[in-house]
Structure 1
Amino acid sequence: CELWYSVVVRDRHGKIVSRERRKSKSFLKQWNQVVYVQMTGANLAGILDTGGLSRTVEPYQTNFLIQCAAAATDYGIRVGTGNTAVAVDDYALETPIEEGVGAGQMEHLVCTVADFVVSAPNCSFLVSRTIV
């Protein structure tokens, strides 16, 4: 199983400034733990949330919920800063960029998920969020 991501950067007029597609190097333990919970239907204790708190995760329909409204930062695509190398035990961004229009802040617009597309041998879907 591989995880790929692509990033499109646009200027204020919507013109594409840069585009890149890369294989993710941050396939983390918590992802696999939540997938396990969903696949087995069993509760699993000891999964760290983004605040570092140990939680028992139960199988719910919303465990993978990523679509969200503008300004939401509890879920959906987030960006941050930092230069610490990714470790499998990571559970949060080193320094998340906060919601807002002030210095060091960015506006998080809606996060959407497009329908999946099957193009043998691949199946993919697009998750997108504009952050300005």
Structure 2
Amino acid sequence: MMKKNFFDHFADQAAYFAGSPGAFIGASLLVIIWAVTGPFFKFSEVWQMVINTGTTIVTFLMVFLIQKAQNKDSKAIQIKLNELVAAHENANNRIVDIEDLTEEELDQIHKFYENLRNSRNRDTSKEE
């Protein structure tokens, strides 16, 4: 296995932490503290700008970190599915790596399997 680079490690840890109870509690406490300090700052524009700017920056950065983690998870799942398809003797190996196809090509394959399902349903209903 390759050693993770700094960004990969950071993104994994940040995404893990962002989904933890500690992160939720910390964020909730931050909002509560901000709300409680409102009267001391007379609910000024600066007071409002602090929470707006802070949450905007965190949200903006988290979008990229979460997308990085999602891309990695999707790739791992696709590899596992490809392995299962390739290992099964009755599976259609042409569907390995179909995630690389265009949307139109995927639609064609989807229609093929819909037709296959419909024809099997018709065959089953004839037997009954």
TM-score (norm 1): 0.21
Q: Which of the two has greater helix per residue?
A: 2
Q: Which of the two has greater strand per residue?
A: 1
Larger relative contact order (C-alpha < 8 A, sep ≥ 6)? 2
TM-score (norm 2): 0.21
Q: Which has the larger radius of gyration?
A: 2
